[in-house]
Each structure stands twice: as C-alpha cells, then as structure tokens.
Amino acid sequence: MPRTALLALAIALPVVAAAQAAKKSAVADPLPVGSVWVGTGEQGGTLKGKDHAHLAWGTMVLHVDERTGSFFKASAWYPGLNCGVGRMSGVLDDKGGISIEEPSILFGQGANGVQGLAPGGRWTGHVDATSLAVTGSFEDQASKAEIPCRFSLVRSPASQAAAALPKEREPKKKEAKAAPAAENEPKPKDAEASPANEPEPKPKEAAAKKPNPKATVHRGEWEIKDGVLVGRDADLGQYPAFLAFGELSWQEYDWTVKVQASTLENIPADDKTGAALRVHVRSQVDWFQVAFAKAAGVTRRIKDEWKHVKGSPAFLELDRWYEVKFVVRGASVQTFVDGAPLVAFESETFVSGQLGIQCQNARVRCKDITVTDPSGRVLWQGLPTIR
C-alpha cells in the first residue's frame, strides 16, 4: 500500500472512531428520571395451562422516580381505578431490555372495590425513546394464583404528563425568597442596640435523627426493645421469622451486624434452631442465605426452587453475641464472624438486593447494624423502623 494511502488511513481511523463514540454518547437515556409513560394495562389470559379472568385496567401512568446506574425505581397508578400509588423497581440493560421485579399491580382498596394484589411477580420487556412494553405475571395475595399481565405505554410529552400526574406527585412550587435589604441602607437609631442590651444567643438544639426506613416484615413477630431488634417465629416455631431492609439496588457494600440467637419457650432446640442472614434479597422468595444453626450452610432460593450452595462450619452458640460481617461485591460474597473468615461463595443469579434477617425455632436479637460502600461511605446505620 502506498505511503500516502497509509497516512490517509491513519488519519481517517481516529476520526471514524471519534464519530462513532460521539454517536453512541448522543443516544438518549430511554428511561430518564422524571419521565412519564401513559398507556394501557390488563391482566388475565392463560398461563401454565390455566385460564384466568380478564380485567382491563384502563389508563396506566408510570413515573420514573430514581435511577442508580442500570437500576430504577418507579411509581405507577391507574386513574380510572382510583387506586393509590404503587411501586416497582427493576433493571435496564444497555440494549433497552427491561426487567421488573416485585411490582405492585393494584394498589390498595379502590373506589370500585378492587382489592390490592401483593407483589411477587416478574416482568420483562423493552423500552426505547418513545415506547415501553412489558409482559409477565404476579401472584394474587388471596388465591396465590399466578396471573399473567401486560402493559403497553408511550412516552408522554411534558404538557400531557403534568395532567396525568396525581396531585401528590405534582412538584411543589418554590416560594420566592424575600430580597435582602440593601447593605448601605441606614438603620433607625432605635434599632441600634448597644452590646449590653443585645440578647444572649440561644444554644442550638441538636437536630433530631431521622429514623431509618421501614423494614418489610415477611413473617414472624418483630419489635425494637431497648435499642435491639428482636424477632421470633410465629405459630410456635413452625414458620421462620423473616424481615428485609435496605435498597434493591445495593450491589457492592460491607454489612456488619451483631447477632444473638436463643431458644423459644417450650420449644426444644434442633439442628435448625438459630439465626440466618440474607443478601441479594429480591423478594420474600428470592435470596441467598447463610445459616448459623447446626444445619449451617449457604442456600439460594428462587421462588419454589431451593439450592444448597455450600456447607459452612457456621454454628453460633446460643445466647452469645457475635459480630457478623458480609463483604459483597456483586456476585462475590465473603462472610466473617468476629473478624475470622467463615465462608465465601459466588451468586450465579442475583447480584444486588436488600438485606434480610431470619430465625427459625428461635428468638433473634440484632444491633449495631452498619452498611458502607467500598469507599467507606455510610449507606445505612442503626436499626430499621418496624411498622
């Protein structure tokens, strides 16, 4: 190849690469914070060979509340059903694929008598700059039936979006601040107080600490007592107590907590008596768990599928406090007890989620909960609020 051709090629390649990079960076975010999507939603049809009653939800409105990388949180409601605001969260991939977990489909008691439906479903679909289409299913709280559903929405212009938002979602108007007085404006003589007559400054009161968000109590009896989170089985130890707290978007963090387990009254201890801690909690039935009973080990659950991931010499003596630490970096999880390495494992499914505390045939006590990101920034400190 002639030298002039090689020179031209050397000049052209960087130009083409820069143009492609600029084109890629110019692609608009298909799901930006504050965007509003309006369309229709419906449930019913056939799933797993079963027919379900069809219900058209009518107009559906979806508002994107938060974005942290690929994770998002949104609010949704159905104006025609006069239902309260529901919540959903999910993940958006770089090709516009969207995955929603834990959707609240119908939210509370509507004016037409529609009962609320519990979360527990999964939806998948696609979103681009103008349209959002999702299909999936959810579990009815009353019947436990898995019901198919879908919705098809379009991006709404700002003028139409404002009309679709409920009053509780409308942005508050900022009050105009009074203009400061001119610095050179002379003060009345009466206003000039001598130093002797100036009132003594009042000591500043310490601002009240904002309580942590509420935990989601899935099972059991939970309370805060003397600065300690206390949980116990319901139904005389037949069903493990379980609560979850934190953010579904938590992916890389260090979690430390002090834990103590003890037996319940009139219930003898067995191999399952003790506490367990969970990470990557996506729902009541989707999580990874490290158990600290005699039947110790790492377990993964996805809906009705249970998998024993790894055994663990993790038995913690009853009636004794231990400090447990989880170091989570996406799919990689390491655990420590009182500073000593315990068990490490890899997640082949979930890479983010809330944190969970569980106990079986036992009463569990937890305190000194701290969650930090890899840089040491505090994400959570203290006990969750109990409903």
Residue indicated by tokens 């663990």: 312
Lowest mean per-residue pLDDT among 36-40, 160-164, 376-380: 160-164
More confident residue, 78 or 16: 78
pLDDT at site 264 = 81
Q: What is the rounded distance in angstroms from the CA atom of residue 43 to the CA atom of residue 139? A: 12
Percent of the chain exceeding pLDDT 90 equals: 24
Q: What is the rounded distance in angstroms from the CA atom of residue 157 to the CA atom of residue 163? A: 10
Kindly tell me if the per-residue pLDDT of 32 is higher than 50. Answer: yes
Length in residues, the chain: 387
pLDDT at site 156 = 81
4 phi, psi to nearest 5 deg:
-65, -35
Residue 56, strand partner residues: 42
The per-residue pLDDT for range 268-303, each reduced to its tens digit, is 778 888 899 999 998 888 899 998 887 778 888 887
Token duo for residue 26: 């110019």
Domain ranges of the chain: 36-167, 216-381
pLDDT at site 376 = 94
Lowest mean per-residue pLDDT among 81-90, 134-143, 241-250: 81-90
186 phi, psi to nearest 5 deg:
-65, 140
Q: Does the structural domain 216-381 have CATH classification 2.40.170.20?
A: no
pLDDT at site 330 = 92
Residue 232, strand partner residues: 221, 363
Kindly tell me if the per-residue pLDDT of 386 is higher than 80. Answer: yes
Q: What is the rounded distance in angstroms from the CA atom of residue 309 to the CA atom of residue 234? A: 27
**pLDDT band at 150, cuts 50/70/90?**
confident
Task: Find the farthest-apart pair of alpha carbons in the chain and give their distance in angstroms, rounded.
Answer: 93
Q: How far is CA 156 from CA 38, 319, 341, in A?
A: 6, 58, 52
The per-residue pLDDT for range 191-245, each reduced to its tens digit, is 444 444 555 555 555 455 678 888 998 888 899 999 999 998 865 556 788 999 9
> What class, spelled out in words, does domain 36-167 have in CATH?
mainly beta
Judge contact between 357 and 255, C-beta under 8 A.
no
Token duo for residue 129: 């700059």
**pLDDT band at 320, cuts 50/70/90?**
very high
pLDDT at site 23 = 47
- Three-state SS string across the chain, please? CCHHHHHHHHHHHHHHHHHHHHHHHCCCCCCCCCCEEEEEEEEEEEECCEEEEEEEEEEEEEEEEEEECCEEEEEEECHHHCCCCEEEEEEECCCCEEEEECCCCCCCCCCCCCCCCCCCCEEEEEECCCEEEEEEEEECCCCCCEEEEEEEEEECCHHHHHHHCCHHHCCCCCCCCCCCCCCCCCCCHHHCCCHHHCCCCCCCCCCCCCCCCECEEEECEEEEECCEEEEECECCCCECEEEEECCCCCCEEEEEEEEEEEECCCCCCCCCCEEEEEEEEEECCEEEEEECCCCCEEEEEECCEEEEEEECCCCCCCCCCEEEEEEEECCEEEEEECCEEEEEEECCCCCCCEEEEEEECEEEEEEEEEEECCCCCEEEECCCECC
Entry pTM: 0.52
Is there a common fold for 36-167 and 216-381?
no
Kindly tell me if the per-residue pLDDT of 326 is higher than 90. Answer: yes
**pLDDT band at 129, cuts 50/70/90?**
confident
As a whole number, mean pLDDT of residues 153-158 equals 79
